[in-house]
Chains A and B, each alone.
Chain A
Amino acid sequence: AQKITQTQPGMFVQEKEAVTLDCTYDTSDPSYGLFWYKQPSSGEMIFLIYQGSYDQQNATEGRYSLNFQKARKSANLVISASQLGDSAMYFCAMREYNNAGNMLTFGGGTRLMVKP
């Protein structure tokens, strides 16, 4: 079974509008972390935001927020006030801290395109 599922292969959003990128995950480990990374066309992996499984509040970093719904096992990324520079691939990832190697597992990604 897929550990991380991103169901939106591609999305368009109008500049200055908000957009939500979906991510669901599957784990039996009570201790885990959820990450979002941005990959622009230049190829580097840019860390955006982190949510720990025991965190009570949703994580926020500037225009990025993570809508964490633990019971539904979802960790959606919300980008407010989209900018042209937000056009990129976005990856959701999970790290299970009690599993051997606590490796980072990635979803298949969502390509976001911001329209002027």
Chain B
Amino acid sequence: NAGVTQTPKFQVLKTGQSMTLQCAQDMNHEYMSWYRQDPGMGLRLIHYSVGAGITDQGEVPNGYNVSRSTTEDFPLRLLSAAPSQTSVYFCASSYLEGFGYTFGSGTRLTVV
């Protein structure tokens, strides 16, 4: 049982480049979400999904896109990377009615 798997663990991008952060879970969780954590701060919600085909914006969605074509996968796309998107990104999943969130190990992204 792998839990929540995020790839890559580290990434350096140049300003203007695009990329996709991958997130996969094998627990059949309906709910998946992406957070960013800036230095010394808590996590802020970027986008979330309550099931395949259903996504919505969180607190800081600008500059990011998501899609949920399967229950297992929830990729996060950076459309045109900016230095302000330098952060650690966490993917998390849970059952809709449950209380246990499972977090991935994070992706440390640097935009230069």
* Chain A residues with a Cβ under 8 A of chain B: 4, 33, 35, 43-45, 47, 50, 52, 91, 93, 95, 97, 100-109
Contacts and interface: CB of A to CB of B under 8 A. Distances in A.
A45 B50 contact: no
B96 A102 contact: yes
Contacts of B101: 35, 47, 104
Nearest to B92: A104
Contacts of B41: 108-109
Given A44-B106, A100-B56, A105 B45 contact: yes
B56 A35 contact: no
A95 B99 CA distance: 8
Contacts of B58: 101, 103
B48 A101 contact: yes
27 contacts: A4-B42, A33-B99, A43-B105, A43-B106, A44-B105, A44-B106, A47-B100, A50-B100, A52-B99, A91-B42, A91-B43, A95-B99, A97-B97, A101-B31, A101-B50, A101-B56, A101-B58, A103-B45, A104-B92, A104-B101, A105-B45, A106-B35, A106-B43, A106-B44, A108-B41, A108-B42, A109-B42
Interface centre among A35, A45, A52 (most CB of B within 10 A): A45
Contacts of A95: 99
A42 B96 CA distance: 28
Interface of B: 31, 33, 35, 40-45, 48, 50, 56, 58, 88, 90, 92, 96-97, 99-101, 103, 105-106, 108
A22 to B, nearest CB: 14
Given A106-B42, A107-B42, A45 B90 contact: yes
Contacts of B43: 45, 91, 93, 106
B33 A103 contact: yes
B99 A45 contact: no
Given A33-B99, A91-B43, A106-B43, 13 more contacts: A43-B108, A44-B103, A45-B43, A100-B56, A101-B31, A101-B56, A102-B96, A103-B45, A104-B33, A104-B92, A108-B41, A108-B42, A109-B40
